[in-house]
């Protein structure tokens, strides 16, 4: 029996950058999960160029693979920041006007700086690089005969929680911890059975990414 997840809410993902980081163990289950997550991101308006997919060997490696994504790059200028951009340009214009009269040093004038800043801002706003608003960590752990499953699941889940609290970037928990392959298939919608949990993770990433932007 499949119990329902959160009731659906629509969030506009058009201003988001989202990363999907997936393990390569149990690839036949991973693939539909990643596809389901991506489908929901696109359906919410996230641009294809703003979805980055990376992989790592197994679920154990997910925390560091997520933590080491290039989240430190400057935030791209988004349409809703247009007013801020205009204010910045106005400020630079004022500095420029005052320096035109007093610049006798041969140093780059404020006019030069203004031109450079304008082109930097334009290239940043067109860029698909920048920090991620949310990351989806996808792994499939299938219980074997040893204690490996428990150790990896516990460490990966705690590691991902630590990364999201340390970075402030929502990390969606996309790790299936199942007892056998049948359970895994049913949670990835394989063979038309069950429900693809990857879709829920895509929707959760959009909601949390939008909220992260609102939180600032």
How far is residue 60 from each of residues 20, 117, 155, 157, measured CA to CA in Å?
Answer: 16, 43, 7, 9
Give the C-alpha separation, 188 to 124, whole Å.
37
Asked if 158 interacts with ligand DLZ (CB under 6 A), we say no
Identify the sign of the CA torsion 175, 34, 18, 210. negative
Asked if 199 interacts with ligand DLZ (CB under 6 A), we say no
Asked if 173 interacts with ligand DLZ (CB under 6 A), we say no
In this complex, which beta carbon is closest to ligand DLZ, that of residue 94 or of residue 161?
A: 161
Asked if 152 interacts with ligand DLZ (CB under 6 A), we say yes
Q: How far is the CB of 141 from ligand DLZ (least distance, A)?
A: 4
Q: How far is the CB of 2 from ligand DLZ (least distance, A)?
A: 22
- Whether the CB-CB separation of 201 and 208 falls below 8 Å is answered with no
Give the C-alpha separation, 59 to 141, whole Å.
7
Which contacts (CB < 8 Å, 24+ apart) does range 160-169 have? 160/62, 160/63, 160/66, 162/63, 163/63, 163/66, 163/67, 166/67, 167/67, 167/71, 168/212, 169/71, 169/131, 169/132, 169/133, 169/134, 169/135, 169/212
Judged by CB under 6 A, the residue of 11, 39, 42, 58 near ligand DLZ is 58
Stretch that binds ligand DLZ, among 54-62, 73-81, 187-195, 202-210 (CB under 6 A): 54-62
Number of residues lying near ligand DLZ (CB under 6 A): 15
In this complex, which beta carbon is closest to ligand DLZ, that of residue 172 or of residue 210?
A: 172
Q: How far is the CB of 24 from ligand DLZ (least distance, A)?
A: 8
Q: How far is the CB of 62 from ligand DLZ (least distance, A)?
A: 8
DSSP state of 196: B
DSSP state of 160: H
Which are the catalytic amino acids?
148
Window 107 to 146, contacts with ligand DLZ (CB under 6 A) = 139-142, 144
Stretch that binds ligand DLZ, among 43-51, 59-67, 88-96, 166-174 (CB under 6 A): 59-67
Largest CA distance in the chain: 79
Q: How far is the CB of 136 from ligand DLZ (least distance, A)?
A: 15
Window 2 to 31, contacts with ligand DLZ (CB under 6 A) = 23, 25-26
Binding site for ligand DLZ (CB under 6 A): 23, 25-26, 57-61, 139-142, 144, 148, 152
């Amino acid at each position: 029996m499949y119990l329902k997840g959160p009731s659906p809410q629509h969030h506009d993902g058009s201003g988001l950058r989202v990363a999907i980081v997936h393990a390569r163990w149990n690839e036949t289950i991973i693939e539909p999960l990643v596809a389901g997550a991506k489908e929901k991101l696109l359906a919410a308006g996230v641009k294809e160029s703003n979805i980055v997919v990376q992989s790592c060997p197994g679920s154990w490696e997910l925390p560091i693979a997520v933590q080491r994504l290039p989240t430190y790059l400057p935030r791209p200028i988004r349409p809703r920041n247009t007013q801020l951009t205009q204010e910045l340009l106005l400020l630079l214009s004022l500095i420029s006007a005052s320096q035109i009269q007093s610049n006798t040093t041969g140093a780059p004038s404020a006019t030069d700086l203004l031109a450079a800043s304008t082109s930097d801002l334009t290239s940043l706003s067109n860029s698909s690089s920048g920090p991620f608003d949310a990351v989806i960590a996808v792994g499939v752990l299938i219980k074997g005969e040893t204690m490996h499953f428990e150790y990896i699941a516990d460490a990966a889940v705690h590691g991902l929680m630590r990364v999201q609290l340390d970075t402030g970037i929502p990390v969606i928990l996309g790790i299936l911890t199942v007892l056998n392959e049948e359970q895994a298939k049913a949670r990835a919608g394989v063979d038309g059975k069950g429900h693809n949990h990857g879709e829920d993770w895509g929707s959760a990433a959009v909601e949390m990414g939008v909220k992260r932007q609102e939180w600032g």
